[in-house]
Structure 1
Amino acid sequence: MIEFRSTSTRVLRLGAMVFLAATLAGCANCTRDPRQAGFGCGVANLAGGVYQEDTIKLQAEADAAQARAQNLAAENDRLRAEMGSLNQQQRRLNTQLIAANDQLAQSHARLQLLRNQRDVDRGRLTDLENQLANLQDRQRELIRRRGNAGDAAEAARIEAEIKRVEAENAKLKKGITDISNART
């Protein structure tokens, strides 16, 4: 019986070796995908560390993807903060623009008022210049009449009239000067 046992052991050993040899010989054509490798290739891949290598490689890829995701999340946070800052800056600039537009509108209104006033001043200046010319004509006429005055009383009346015309003339000249200075 011992012989039988040893023969059967030998047969088992031989069968195992043939199986192992066949399995290892087929490993050259084995796929690394455990879903497609089959039992023999699966055992060979497991024993040869193929699956361990793939697991390490996949873990490294997952870690790299996680790091990229964290970097993208940080970049997203930075961009959101920057966008908030830019939105705040835009609101501030819009407020400044509105204020500048208001000032521009006020300046435009003031300029229009000055143009209208200048037109009024121009008309007033023309009136004053005409009044001055009339007074100067009147003053010359009074001076001429004073030289032809027959008596002292008439000369005194003419002299008083000349003084009134001269005072009025001085007021007109001052008004003309004021308007001319206001225009410049």
Structure 2
Amino acid sequence: MKRRSVKRRRGLGMALLTVGIAALVAWQWLLPQMREWPHVPTYGAMSWGYGQPVSYQSCGFHTGDDWFAPIGTPIFAVEDGTVLYVGPLWLDGEGVGRGPYSIVLYHEAGDYWTTYGHNSVALVEAGDEVRRGQKIAEVGDLGYSPAPHLHFEKVVTPFTGNWEQPFVGCEGYVDPGDRWSPI
């Protein structure tokens, strides 16, 4: 019985070693690929995506991705960029807004802007340079918000101040897409 147990453990050990080596090889291939992908903006569940129908937007659709997470969850810059604005971002309509600590980043490499809304706190200021993966804020529940979450947008219309009535027909918003990878 003892010999069988030793053989069984050796067999299990060899199986685990084989799986471990395969995982290491896969990780060595995947790691450089992941460095090329932008990061997701926060830990959490992306639950309300771009393009979903909504009644509170002039264009009738949701202009970004909502990442639901507990208050205080870190929010990260998805790409290197410059902080252009920290403050309230309002859409057209009373009671519709992103809270007082919203952030707008400009990403020169891709010539686009990202917005981060409903934050409980902003950890950056206008003019700061940020790196991909840098913590810039924490998830909150401020502004027009049903629950704690990050409202994340990708925008191709130049930011000229506070987007109070951003884009007629919402032509400036683009789908953030599923090209984000976990940090």
Q: Report the TM-score when normalising by structure 1.
A: 0.24
Higher relative contact order (CA 8 A, sep 6+): 2
Higher Cα Rg: structure 1 or 2? Answer: 1
Give the TM-score normalised by the residue count of structure 2.
Answer: 0.24
**Larger helix share, 1 or 2:** 1
- Going by fraction, where is strand more abundant, 1 or 2? 2
